[in-house]
Amino acid sequence: MMIVDGRGQTETALLAGEILCPDCSSPLRPHGQARTRTVRGPGDTRLTMRPRRARCTGCRRTQILLPAALSVRRADTVEVIGTALAAKAAGSGYRTIAAHMGRPLSTVRRWLRRVPETHAHWLYEQAVQHAFRLNPDTLARPKPWPSLLGWSLNILAGAALAYRHRVDVDLPPWTLIGLFTQGNLLSPPLRT
Ligand SMILES: [Zn+2]
């Protein structure tokens, strides 16, 4: 699985052999489509996508090119999960967040449990890496944040805005955050 930004350029780059295998760095080639996924967006919206499948010309492994608006193994978009995490970082509990977002208590509770301090730290590292590359000024804000999660999301948002400015691309900030965090805004099940 690889996270891509989901624009038409991805297909062009794939056809041109410019997307490289994460395992052996050989060019990937188109290899059909993965199964169709329908995930929940904000409120009652639904997003249906059929990710591209690609195969490595070197090691022959296949990869699914997952658009960055989707989270790895989650039924909700990065925007939805990210909004819940931002509310948690701002001090809301899971009951309030679930009621506000129209999601089951158990779902929201599961999301919030997937950002233990170790994962907040990982998010912070990704945030700093991207912000430093795109616009180091994003890191210089002196405002103190009560939690590492809140601070990390804030830097990620700053990096997303810097990316939009620099690359002149109209991707939604949460999609870019999905790209920066490689679809792992929540920690993968095997890591904790
Ligand atoms: Zn390979």
Q: What is the 8-class DSSP label of residue 3?
A: E
Does the model's pTM come out above 0.75? yes
Q: Is 79 exposed, middle or buried (0-12, 13-18, 19+ CB in 10 A)?
A: buried
Q: How far is the CA of 20 from the centre of ligand 1 (A)?
A: 8
What value does the mean pLDDT of the chain take? 91
142 — pLDDT class (breaks 50, 70, 90): low
Q: How far is the CA of 63 from the centre of ligand 1 (A)?
A: 9
Percent of the chain with pLDDT over 90: 77
Q: How far is the CA of 22 from the centre of ligand 1 (A)?
A: 7
Q: How far is the CA of 23 from the centre of ligand 1 (A)?
A: 5
Closest to 151 in 3D by CA, of 109, 90, 104: 90
